[in-house]
Amino acid sequence: MDIFCLEDFKVEFEKLKGKKSYSSIEDDIINYFFGKNAQELSSGVRLNNSSETPYIKKRLNGSGGFRFYYLLIIKDEKLYLLFVHPKTGALGSENITDESKAYLYKKVLGCIKSNDLYQLSLNEETKKIDFKKV
Amino acid sequence: MDCLSHKSEISKTFSSVRNFSFEEKKVSIFDEERMNAFLDAILEFKNTFQRKTEKIIEINDRIERVTWFNDLDEESLMLINDLISSIKDLHSTLIRQYVSLNLIRSKGIAKEEIKNFKNAIDDLKENYQDLESVYFFLPEIPAFKETTKLLSLV
């Protein structure tokens, strides 16, 4: 599975990674998203009622952990990370609004069409995520 | 004369220590039993909340799986609407239970179990809100519907 993300995701990721209480975010992404197939990644809450291109909200790292929003395009074996927020702590929030979910969903479609994305890969030691502009 | 009164005082002190020591030895056995009963009650309390939490987590997983069902008809949507109402009702009952634990929580008893219980209740709330979004709110947002249509063409 090739993994991409929106600029919004990269900004949030870097902001959270810099905070001690959210520093597990990089390991959480590596452990959950990398080296998995579409079936393994098809869990959580499916927001868009689509089997081919499921838009998913996934809770990671327990109840107080992170909420990831991502889109899978199964036939292309591609995954797009749209947004992440923690549930608790100084930067935590309960949920995002339906309007925000719709906004991110529309935005990822535009970014896919215009190639305005970052591709995620792991460094040699597979301990860090590299972001490369597509 | 002084010496005699001292001896008497020492004897009285000895007697007082001896009696108290004897009583305390008996009491400590009694206390151990009470302590064990108290610890058993805490353990049972912890187990009860652990079981409740596991049940809520299981329900949360089942609710998430509902969002993966395809081609739901009107009757199924009505069932989902009933399900959402029922989860809301369950959530309010569980929150009341959580609030009633305030005193126990403030004493630091079963802290971890109560925290996990609360987290599972919070997830339950998030899940019924998500379920409502998926089946009743997001499909009503035109841009959302349009994006789903366009994505199927990508």
Question: What is the separation of C-alpha B21 from the centre of its chain, rounded to a whole number of angstroms?
Answer: 43
Window from A23-27, A92-96, A101-105, B122-126 with minimum mean pLDDT: A92-96
| 3-class DSSP state of B14 | helix
User: How many domains, chain B?
Assistant: 1
- What are A54-100's pLDDT values in tens digits? 999 999 976 568 999 999 999 999 999 999 999 888 888 888 999 99
The sign of the dihedral angle between the CA atoms of A86, A28, A124, A78 is negative
The token duo for A87 is 């549930």
Q: How many CB atoms lie within 10 A of CB B58?
A: 11
- B125, closest residue in chain A (CA to CA): A94
CA–CA gap between residue A92 and residue B24 (Å, rounded):
53
Contacts across the A-B interface (CB distance below 8 Å): 81
Closest approach of B116 to chain A, Cα-based (Å): 8
Q: Does B64 touch chain A (CB under 8 A)?
A: yes
pLDDT band with cut points at 50, 70 and 90 for residue A43? very high
pLDDT of residue A35 exceeding 70, the answer is: yes
Please tell me the CATH superfamily of domain A2-133, with its number.
Answer: RelE-like (3.30.2310.20)
A94 or B46, higher pLDDT = B46
pLDDT of residue B29 exceeding 80, the answer is: no
A69 or B25, higher pLDDT = A69
Q: Does A46 touch chain B (CB under 8 A)?
A: yes
Domain limits for position B6? 2-151
CA–CA gap between residue A87 and residue A128 (Å, rounded):
23
pLDDT of residue A41 exceeding 60, the answer is: yes
Cβ-based contacts of A71 with chain B (< 8 Å): 151
Report DSSP state, residue B135: I
Q: Does A93 touch chain B (CB under 8 A)?
A: no
Q: What is the mean pLDDT of chain B?
A: 92
B5 φψ region: left (φ > 0), alpha (ψ -120 to 50), beta (else): alpha
Question: For residue B45, what pLDDT is reported?
Answer: 93
In this complex, the residue of B64, B116, B120 whose CB is nearest that of residue A44 is B64
- What are B53-98's pLDDT values in tens digits? 999 999 999 999 999 999 899 999 999 999 999 999 999 999 999 9
CA–CA gap between residue B47 and residue B86 (Å, rounded):
25
Q: Does A49 touch chain B (CB under 8 A)?
A: yes
pTM: 0.85
The percent helix, strand, coil of chain A (3-state, each to 5) is 35, 30, 35
Cβ-based contacts of B119 with chain A (< 8 Å): 62-64
- What are B138-153's pLDDT values in tens digits? 999 999 999 999 998 8
- A65, closest residue in chain B (CA to CA): B119
Q: Does B132 touch chain A (CB under 8 A)?
A: no
A66 or B21, higher pLDDT = A66
The CA angle A55-A8-A70, to the nearest 5 degrees, is 15
Q: Do B133 and A98 touch (CB under 8 A)?
A: yes
Window from A32-36, A63-67, B26-30 with minimum mean pLDDT: B26-30
pLDDT band with cut points at 50, 70 and 90 for residue A127? confident
pLDDT of residue B1 exceeding 70, the answer is: no
Question: For residue B7, what pLDDT is reported?
Answer: 86
- A98, closest residue in chain B (CA to CA): B138
B14 phi, psi to nearest 5 deg: -55, -45
